[in-house]
Amino acid sequence: MSTFKEGFLWGGATAANQFEGGFDEGGRGLNLADVLPGGKDRLKLLTSSGFDFEMDTEKYRYPNHEGIDFYHRYKEDIALFAEMGFKVFRMSIAWSRIFPNGDETEPNEEGLAFYDRVFDELAKYDIEPLVTIAHYETPLHLIKEYGGWKNRKLVEFFDRYVEAIFNRYKNKVTRWLTFNEINGATHMPLVGLGFSPSSDDVRLQESFQGLHHQFVASARAVQKAHAIIPGSQVGCMLIYAPVYAYDSNPENILHAKKEADIFNFFCGDVQVRGEYPYFIDHYFEENGIEIKMEENDLTTIKQGTVDFVSFSYYMSRTEKKEKTPEEQGEGNLIGGVKNPFLKASDWGWEIDPVGLRIALNELYGRYRKPLMIVENGLGAYDKVEEDGSINDDYRIDYLRAHIAQMKEAVKDGVDLIGYTSWGCIDLVSMSTGQYSKRYGFIYVDKHDDGSGTLERKKKKSFDWYKQVIASNGKEL
């Protein structure tokens, strides 16, 4: 008997902005990712203040415009996913394909028709779509004209967008996620909330206000899904990294706990339990944050709790109350100090399979809802050998170790319903805009300088993952 339940949802994950391309086709409007340059300046931009959302094509390349051209190659790609035996495929809908500016009243038929074709293609192979409604893709017009999610008006525009897609795809999509990595918003408001704080002083105030708007929008989306699509399931999506204390100094343990409360649990508590958690008032008070709410917001949040909890897992985080600048250093995307027990990827992300078991236990213990891992994987440089093979044993090792820990968590009693590894086909990196940071089982011939044929090739991990799925996780 396999540890994973029958019908376990094995598959892969993507996001429209990182792989679809066709950025100016089918009536699509521009969105946030279209103005993010490729290269080393990108990460700085994501975490700093004062970005003007203008493109500078003399200075930069904009890789998200072309992605890996799934827009034209979806049939070939879906056939490869089917060959691996995918049960589920996580993808997002690009909001600006459906509402090019975001504030129109009528959706763009060409955009709607594109996703019909994709869902129909998936259905041919019995692959279930898992659709993220908002994955770092706020329409650019809503950013420039309205200031992104800081502005309450976005709740209304989002309502229109979700109604349009729920009505259109009600017979094709049952599982939905509202906001990708919603809790990453205070760290990277640019991608999560579609605005760049005017200064670091207002960053927290504006980010938490934006988050409140997303909580209301998400809760309304859950209610609409249940009304429009009977039997539908809507999940929240968190970026989750267990927070370890650097040592047994109680000050460090307390600090780690507080970081975990704010970063890991605050958003989940609101979206799963339907209320702002007990610890947040003190945090808001300490940081001078005041949230403007409308009369029914808290009721809406209470009535729109999610059906399941999904999350991304790449790394754990180690915290110390007092950090020297050297300890802080470069590394994990979400901060912390270096953990002496862990090795890191070529991008400094600490690799911690046991942390995934801890994450699953923490989330299940707190929420008691079905869990789904909707992102996990190793961003690495791949080499195509002279005979055309790509021997990504490092990726197989990484995934094997993580799936082994998932098994342990299931034995611990966690209700885990699925796993979609990130970037099942190579795509543009979110944080660096690189093609060379590859996650896929399928290699795409496309490079950081823009060259490449876009040809797809199977890596060694392709057949490995196929066997994992066929054996329902027994053969790793």
Determine the size of the site formed for ligand BG6 (CB under 6 A): 14
Q: Position of tokens 């279930």?
A: 128
Please choose, out of 46-54, 84-92, 164-172, 430-438, the segment that lies near ligand BG6 by the rule CB under 6 A: 430-438
**Helix, coil or strand: residue 152:** coil
> Which residue lies nearer to ligand BG6 by CB, 96 or 151?
96
Q: How far is the CB of 38 from ligand BG6 (least distance, A)?
A: 12
Length of the chain: 476
Binding mask 180-219 for ligand BG6 (x = CB under 6 A): xx--------------------------------------
> Which residue lies nearer to ligand BG6 by CB, 187 or 224?
187
> By CB under 6 A, what part of segment 329-388 binds ligand BG6?
375, 379
Q: What is the largest CA-CA distance in the chain?
A: 65
> Which residue lies nearer to ligand BG6 by CB, 410 or 430?
430
With contact defined as beta carbons under 8 Å apart, do 70 and 79 qualify? no
Site for ligand BG6 contains 437 (CB under 6 A) = yes
**Annotated catalytic, 181?**
yes
Strand ranges in 66-205 using DSSP code E only, listed in sequence order: 88-92, 128-134, 175-179
Residue type at 396 in one-letter notation: I
> By CB under 6 A, what part of segment 312-331 binds ligand BG6?
312
Residues 6+ apart with CB under 8 A from 265: 277, 366
Q: How far is the CB of 267 from ligand BG6 (least distance, A)?
A: 14
Q: How far is the CB of 251 from ligand BG6 (least distance, A)?
A: 30
Tokens of 221: 């989306």
Residues 20, 121, 181, 350: which is the catalytic one?
Answer: 181
Q: How far is the CB of 199 from ligand BG6 (least distance, A)?
A: 25
For residue 238, give the H/E element and its range.
strand 233-239
Q: Characterize 98-108 residue by residue with b for buried, 16 or more Cβ atoms within 10 angstroms of its Cβ, and e for exposed.
A: bbbbbbbeebb
> Which residue lies nearer to ligand BG6 by CB, 180 or 209?
180
Pairing type for strands 233-239 and 175-179 reads parallel
Among 429, 440, 456, 458, binds ligand BG6 (CB under 6 A): 429
Site for ligand BG6 contains 86 (CB under 6 A) = no
Binding mask 110-139 for ligand BG6 (x = CB under 6 A): ------------------------------
**What is d(CA 157, CA 262) in angstroms, rounded to the nearest whole number?**
28
Site for ligand BG6 contains 233 (CB under 6 A) = no
Among 15, 88, 211, 221, binds ligand BG6 (CB under 6 A): 15
> Which residue lies nearer to ligand BG6 by CB, 276 or 465?
465
Site for ligand BG6 contains 430 (CB under 6 A) = yes
> Which residue lies nearer to ligand BG6 by CB, 181 or 269?
181
Site for ligand BG6 contains 33 (CB under 6 A) = no
Pairing type for strands 416-422 and 371-375 reads parallel
Residue type at 474 in one-letter notation: K
With contact defined as beta carbons under 8 Å apart, do 351 and 344 qualify? yes
> Which residue lies nearer to ligand BG6 by CB, 15 or 133?
15
Please choose, out of 109-117, 148-156, 422-430, 447-455, the segment that lies near ligand BG6 by the rule CB under 6 A: 422-430
**Helix, coil or strand: residue 130:** strand
Pairing type for strands 416-422 and 243-245 reads unpaired
With contact defined as beta carbons under 8 Å apart, do 209 and 291 qualify? yes
> Which residue lies nearer to ligand BG6 by CB, 8 or 422?
422
**What is d(CA 166, CA 282) in angstroms, rounded to the nearest whole number?**
38
**What is d(CA 186, CA 184) in angstroms, rounded to the nearest whole number?**
6
Specify burial of residue 431 (Cβ count, 10 A radius: 0-12, 13-18, 19+). Answer: middle
**What is d(CA 444, CA 457) in angstroms, rounded to the nearest whole number?**
7
Site for ligand BG6 contains 422 (CB under 6 A) = yes
Q: How far is the CB of 191 from ligand BG6 (least distance, A)?
A: 8
Site for ligand BG6 contains 90 (CB under 6 A) = no
Geometric angle at alpha carbon 401, from 397 and 402, rounded to 5°: 120
Residue type at 347 in one-letter notation: W
Residues 206, 259, 350, 375: which is the catalytic one?
Answer: 375
**Annotated catalytic, 375?**
yes
Site for ligand BG6 contains 47 (CB under 6 A) = no
Site for ligand BG6 contains 431 (CB under 6 A) = yes
Residue ranges that bind ligand BG6, judged by CB under 6 A: 15, 18, 180-181, 239, 312, 375, 379, 422, 429-432, 437
| Active site (catalytic) residues | 181, 375
